[in-house]
């Protein structure tokens, strides 16, 4: 029987451990980086890589996301029967001069509801309209991006909604940013 030197053993163990780490969740269209959910008290965070993360990256490209976009303002939370089911965030791209809405449906909700409808957009307080609106019906995905909006000189907030078949729409806004 052949034995490994202690250094080789540590390297093999470290390599195996790194192979088991999650790849990360989507952020602003680059497919890598921080999870869209934050780790504040009472919030769930993703612990393993999942197919939705690749879908989130594809969705951000479909929404014409600029890769330098970052969150502005505070997160809004969509509640249903007293439980948080989704997070709503607003993003800003300095390079593209655009705002985006982002909706993340929490895993606990997705585990109990296989299909639902969602939409996300950016509410423009000047125009009094929801802009960049994207709608999904009969979906089971986790991450959703609005289209880019030319609203950086206006007061805005992201707005996301989740609808379970047979129920009314549950929605929330991120904080207002001017």
Which tokens in the block code for residue 81? 């029967």
pLDDT digits (tens, 9 = 90+) for 34-73: 333 332 323 333 323 333 444 555 565 666 789 999 999 9
Closest CA to 107 of 85, 78, 138, 87: 85
Q: What CA dihedral angle connects 150, 130, 169 and 25, to 10 degrees?
A: 0
Residues with Cβ within 8 Å of residue 114, at least 6 apart in sequence: 140
User: What percent helix, strand, coil does the chain show, rounded to 5?
Assistant: 20, 40, 45
Please give the model's pTM, rounded to 2 decimal places: 0.69
- Domain spans in the chain, listed from the N-terminal domain onward: 67-173
pLDDT digits (tens, 9 = 90+) for 129-170: 999 999 999 999 999 999 999 999 999 999 999 999 999 999
- Tell me phi and psi for residue 161, to 5 degrees: -140, 150
Residue with tokens 């959910």: 37
Q: How many DSSP H helices and E strands does the chain contain?
A: 3, 8
Neighbouring C-beta atoms of residue 26, cutoff 10 Å: 28
């Amino acid at each position: 029987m052949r034995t490994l030197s202690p250094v080789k053993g540590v390297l093999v163990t470290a390599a195996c451990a790194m192979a088991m780490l999650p790849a990360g969740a989507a952020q602003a269209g680059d497919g890598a980086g921080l999870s869209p959910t934050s780790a504040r008290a009472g919030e769930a965070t993703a612990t393993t890589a999942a197919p939705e993360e690749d879908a989130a990256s594809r969705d951000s490209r479909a929404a014409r996301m600029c890769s330098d976009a970052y969150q502005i303002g505070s997160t809004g939370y969509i509640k249903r029967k007293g439980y948080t089911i989704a997070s709503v965030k607003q993003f800003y791209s300095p390079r593209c001069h655009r705002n985006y809405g982002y909706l993340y449906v929490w895993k606990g909700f997705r585990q109990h509801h296989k299909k639902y409808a969602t939409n996300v957009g950016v509410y423009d307080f000047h125009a009094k309209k929801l802009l960049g609106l994207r709608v999904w019906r009969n979906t089971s995905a986790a991450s959703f991006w609005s289209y880019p909006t030319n609203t950086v000189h206006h007061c805005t907030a992201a707005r996301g909604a989740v609808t379970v078949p047979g129920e009314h729409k549950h929605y929330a806004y991120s904080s207002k940013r001017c």
